[in-house]
Amino acid sequence: MKSQSPAIIGVGRTKFGEHYERDPEKLIEEAGLQALDSAGVTRNDLDACYFSDYFLQITNKIGLEEGFLSELLELHVPMEKVRSFSSALLNACHGVQSGKYDIVLVGGVEKMTDRWDKIRDDLMLLEDPWSYYAGCTPEANHELLLRGYVKKYGISGEQLEKFNIALAQISVKNHQNATQNPYAQYTRAITVDKVLKARTKACKSLGLFDFAPISDGASALILTSPETAKSCSDDPVYVLGSSSATDYITFPSREERTGFVASKLAMQAALKQAKVDIGDIQIAELYDQSTLLEMISLEDLGFAKRGKAWLDIFNSCKEYCGFYEIEGKKLFVNGNGGLKADGNPLGATGGAQIFEVVKQLRGEAGSRQVEVNGDAPRMGCVSELEGFGTKAYIHILGRS
């Protein structure tokens, strides 16, 4: 029931980028304190913590993250470690909804640039072993997905040219949004021509400006029961729907290779739980690990028709007004710059997406604040992936 939806009463994050000089504990401390302060609670109010990272064991030799966090907070409450921030939030929601916990800290951190040469290899842990041994790079599946999509929908000639420009427009749009985000890794605008030239230089369909970077950073939020939220916050944001789904780890073995079944199923379940329609969602933070994935997500989640998202993007960006117009409806996408420009410290990425939606729903996004009919948006969603569409998470957030 909606009345049982957990509530987010505080959020925090660091700037994403290359933080060689900062230890992981300093990053998560900054994000956590910001979340606690904005929620108006202290660490002693916490009943439990959920923590996410992918590679701290490799990059910083931190093995038992729960003990690391316990020492940092000087607490002995239950703590659990998972990979993605969205997974941590999903588990925290279950804890609050069951009545076991009342106030929970959800946090994520990553220090990927500390060992960039090692991370390139370790990212293959998120793929199947056969791809690894075949010398597959993390970017290869994006190219395979793009080729499969173009072939399936018969995109050629002038249409293919528009398709390629549409993907470039996604990168330009996200970099432009990031110029208004003080936490973003990249805050400079780029052009379509620059994106296209990078592809030509790489001799590939997707180039330097089509992919999210390697990043360091942390994010955090405070999740509570709806009853506690009303007593602690004047403007809580409720997690109306929270869901996950999975698919085969081997991309070429999947039945569907022009989209992600896991994303589609997770979105359907989240909408059902929230008891809302896709048209009720006004803003979205989509997992744009590449420009292609932002486009694919529009179709997987049901915002755009199959095989048509690229055309919606192309037409919307001719005279871009801050949103995509899809079948007569406005959808604000990746207002913080997305993974492409905001940054992608894996364990903290989902928290930054949640941070942005919460700020937008509260009307606290500053110069990047969007308005719907003269007011802050009332409902948004966040999508996050683990691996290449192997596991998908959807969170639907609302002001009421």
Mean pLDDT of 59-85: 93
Q: Which amino acid is at 118?
A: K
For strands 216-224 and 7-13, give the pairing: antiparallel
Q: Which amino acid is at 233?
A: S
What is the number of H-type helices and E-type strands within the chain?
15, 11
pLDDT of residue 95: 97
> Do the Cβ atoms of 166 and 317 come closer than 8 Å?
yes
Mean pLDDT of 175-194: 97
111-120, 320-329, 337-346, range with the lowest pLDDT? 111-120
Q: Is the pTM of this model over 0.85?
A: yes
pLDDT, tens digit, 9 for 90 and up, residues 124-163: 778 887 777 777 777 889 999 999 999 999 999 999 999 9
What the block records as the tokens of 69 is 């966090």
> Do the Cβ atoms of 291 and 167 come closer than 8 Å?
yes
pLDDT category at 2 given cuts 50, 70, 90 is: very low
Residue 317 has pLDDT above 70, yes or no: yes
pLDDT of residue 208: 96
Of the candidates 83, 90, 391, the one whose C-alpha atom is nearest the C-alpha of residue 221 is 90
pLDDT of residue 155: 98
pLDDT of residue 393: 98
pLDDT, tens digit, 9 for 90 and up, residues 202-226: 999 999 999 999 999 999 999 999 9
- CA 259 – CA 145 distance, rounded (Å): 8
Residue 341 has pLDDT above 70, yes or no: yes
121-125, 178-182, 356-360, range with the lowest pLDDT? 121-125
User: If you search the block for the tokens 């992600």, which residue do you land on?
Assistant: 260
pLDDT, tens digit, 9 for 90 and up, residues 246-298: 999 989 889 999 999 999 999 999 999 999 999 999 999 999 999 999 999 99
Topology at the third CATH level for domain 2-118+214-232: Peroxisomal Thiolase; Chain A, domain 1 (3.40.47)
Using alpha carbons, list the distances in angstroms from residue 271 to 2, 105, 239, 301, 380: 12, 25, 11, 10, 11
Half-sphere exposure of 168 (CA within 13 A, CB side): 20
Residue 1 has pLDDT above 70, yes or no: no
